[in-house]
């Protein structure tokens, strides 16, 4: 039997939100419905500023004592502080939980069977959650699992899995069209610019949350001028989150038409990335360049879900 890959995911952080008011608190803060989130389901959700700009996107994972929130690791200290500002008199405790629930990725052929062989939970359908003691397993896609547990869990995974790395996990996220908001892109995009509503991260029927009016207005009244696209670029220069994207052939126009959200190395060389770009430029087939008007060409690739027609 082929062995799946596993990797520690040090670029991901984990928050713990506990207390008897934890569910109501998160429901009031996030862009998705947490009030009705079943105990065996995870959910993607955005956390916005009052102006409707994404400060973070979370994978919300129910556990026995409350909820775990997966987020970019560089956002963890700020999220603990900012969310804590809104606790007020609610019975809620927000802490960093990255040591107790270290994030690991397990993916590839026979990943589910390998988890079973290690006597770990192995849920079956996307976004299903299964827990056992202080281990939580979330199905992110077919044969791709987010596994949360302590350092000993990593040693157990090592006995049955081949070594992968966090960049391979990130490449799978890029190919799935999943944004990862980090410090470099924090407060830059409304959720729809990152396609968050297309992958189940926004509930337009739920009650108020920070920025809700702007998010709703963008959905129903506005014309979205930027969307997130997937692309590839050759060369050895690493694309970085927050990097500007330009149109190449204009020469005299130095105004950026977009921003890199995240990137990962591509097997065989070069990089794949997600970038929020002007839809008009892409519709017109403009030559898109990374970093400067004469930078490397960014070739647009398909996403696994359709973008709305403007």
Fold of 224-310: Elongation Factor Tu (Ef-tu); domain 3 (2.40.30)
In the prediction, which pLDDT does 164 show? 97
Q: Which CATH number fits domain 5-175: 3.40.50.2300, 3.30.1360.120, 3.40.50.1820, 3.40.1500.10?
A: 3.30.1360.120
pLDDT digits (tens, 9 = 90+) for 213-227: 999 999 998 789 999
The residue with tokens 């009244």 is: 221
The encoded tokens of residue 119 equal: 């006597």
**The dihedral formed by the CA atoms of 229, 43, 74 and 98, expressed in degrees to the nearest 10:** -150
> Phi/psi of residue 200, each to 5°?
85, 20
pLDDT digits (tens, 9 = 90+) for 122-169: 999 999 999 999 999 999 999 999 999 999 999 999 999 999 999 999
Going by DSSP bridges, is the β-strand pair 93-96/271-278 parallel, antiparallel, or unpaired? unpaired
pTM for this model (two decimals): 0.96
Instruction: Using alpha carbons, list the distances in angstroms from residue 268 to 192, 238, 264.
Output: 32, 14, 12
pLDDT digits (tens, 9 = 90+) for 42-78: 999 999 999 999 999 999 999 999 999 999 999 999 9
Which DSSP string corresponds to 32-92?
Answer: S--TT--TTB-EEEEEE-TTS-EEEEEEEEEETTEEEEEEEGGGHHHHHHHHHHTTTTSS-
Task: Please check whether residue 256 is in contact with residue 245, taking contact to mean a CB–CB distance below 8 angstroms.
Answer: yes
So where are the chain's domains? 5-175, 224-310
Domains 5-175 and 224-310 share a fold: no
């Amino acid at each position: 039997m082929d062995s799946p890959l596993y990797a520690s995911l040090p670029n991901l952080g984990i928050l713990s939100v506990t207390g008897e008011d934890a569910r109501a608190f998160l429901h009031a803060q996030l862009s998705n419905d947490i009030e009705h989130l079943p105990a065996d389901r995870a959910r993607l959700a955005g956390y916005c500023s009052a102006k409707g700009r994404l400060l973070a996107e979370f994978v919300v994972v129910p556990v026995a004592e409350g909820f775990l929130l997966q987020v970019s690791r560089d956002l963890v200290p700020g999220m603990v502080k900012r969310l804590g500002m809104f606790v007020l008199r609610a019975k809620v405790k927000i802490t960093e939980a990255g040591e107790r629930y270290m994030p690991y990725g397990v993916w590839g052929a026979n990943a589910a069977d390998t988890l079973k062989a290690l006597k770990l939970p192995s849920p079956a359908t996307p976004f299903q959650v299964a827990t056992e003691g202080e281990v939580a397993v979330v199905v992110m896609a077919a044969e791709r699992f987010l596994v949360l547990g302590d350092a000993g869990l990593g040693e157990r995974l090592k006995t049955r899995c081949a070594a992968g790395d966090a960049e391979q996990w990130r490449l799978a996220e890029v190919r799935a069209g999943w944004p990862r908001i980090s410090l470099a892109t924090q407060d830059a995009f409304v959720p729809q610019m990152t396609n968050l509503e297309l992958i189940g991260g926004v509930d337009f029927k739920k009650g108020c949350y920070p920025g809700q009016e702007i998010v709703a207005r963008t959905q129903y009244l506005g014309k979205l001028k930027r969307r997130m696209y997937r692309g590839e670029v050759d060369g050895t220069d690493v694309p970085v989150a927050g990097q500007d994207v330009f149109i190449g052939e204009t020469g005299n126009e130095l105004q950026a038409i977009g921003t890199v959200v995240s990137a990962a190395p591509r097997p065989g060389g070069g990089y794949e990335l997600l970038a929020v770009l002007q839809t008009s430029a892409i519709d017109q087939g403009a030559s898109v360049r990374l970093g400067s008007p004469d930078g490397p060409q960014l070739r647009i690739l398909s996403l696994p879900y359709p973008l709305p027609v403007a």
